[in-house]
Amino acid sequence: MDYFQGKTVWLTGASSGIGLAMAQQLAAAGAQLILTARRAEVLEQVRQQLAQPQHHRVLALDLSQPEQAAAQAQEALGDTQIDILINNAGVSQRSLILDTDLAVYRQLMEIDYFAVVALTKLVLPGMVQRGSGHIVTVSSVAGKVGTKLRSGYNGAKFGVLGFMDSLRAETAHAGLTVTSILPGFINTQVAHNSLTGDGSPLGQADPDNAGGISAEECARRSLQAIAKRKDEVVVGSGLSKLAPFLQRFLPGLVRRMVANR
């Protein structure tokens, strides 16, 4: 993928799952990576295993505190030119509305929505000034179709797609590209790390995600869409890939299917 050759790519959620697979493929494509997740030691292990590790750097941030994370990033990055920002970090949920603490909703919004806004606003002025740049957010099919047990996750992912649509409209004549990636069921640890009603991790697999495509395949398709500078792309297979299409044209059918799952 020549598009990434020599570009500086800031990738969040880089230590596992889709983000780790993206990091590996981006490094192989010649990108210079800024790797972000919470744990610096894990990111350093990732960096050392990438192609040309000397070209990449680690920037550990806690994205559950977006303002603090953005301030730390601004200090660490200085005048570094970010060619592509990939907002990939995120956390999911597995709990009923009746059983979910308000604090859990806030945490989901901080990581899945406000962190995207904060980091985007950090890199946006430089991109607009240069007249070039690419901002990517990995949202979810859950940003198009609301389902049981994911009310906070759905809300954050719906919200971030609206933010990205506004960003695309506002920068349409500024030379920027804005891409939203909507994964369906992907075979990662996302269910294990999902928040339950009291904020503790679920700690077990989800049959839907376990039956999805691999993180490596999701990363490959996502990076192809980014390289083609697409506005929005759904990545997945089976019902999770069809869900946004069905939601648009057969919403009543989708509502019945979701209620009966």
| Domain segments of the chain as ranges | 2-260
Tens of pLDDT along the chain (261 residues)? 799 999 999 999 999 999 999 999 999 999 999 999 999 999 999 999 999 999 999 999 999 999 999 999 999 999 999 999 999 999 999 999 999 999 999 999 999 999 999 999 999 999 999 999 999 999 999 999 999 999 999 999 999 999 999 999 999 999 999 999 999 999 998 888 999 999 999 999 887 777 799 999 999 999 999 999 999 999 998 888 888 888 889 899 889 988 998
Angstrom distances, CA of residue 195 to CA of 91, 95, 108, 152? 7, 8, 8, 10
User: 3, 105, 113, 153: which one is catalytic?
Assistant: 153
Structure tokens at 38: 């919470």
Superfamily (CATH H level) for 2-260: NAD(P)-binding Rossmann-like Domain (3.40.50.720)
Whether 153 is catalytic = yes
Q: How far is the C-alpha of 220 from the C-alpha of 226, rounded, in Å?
A: 10
* Nearest CA among 83, 61, 84 for reference residue 73: 61
Given this model, what pLDDT does residue 143 score?
97
Q: CA-based angle 215:179:152, to the nearest 5?
A: 70
Structure tokens at 105: 């909703």
Given this model, what pLDDT does residue 205 score?
83
Structure tokens at 151: 């009310």
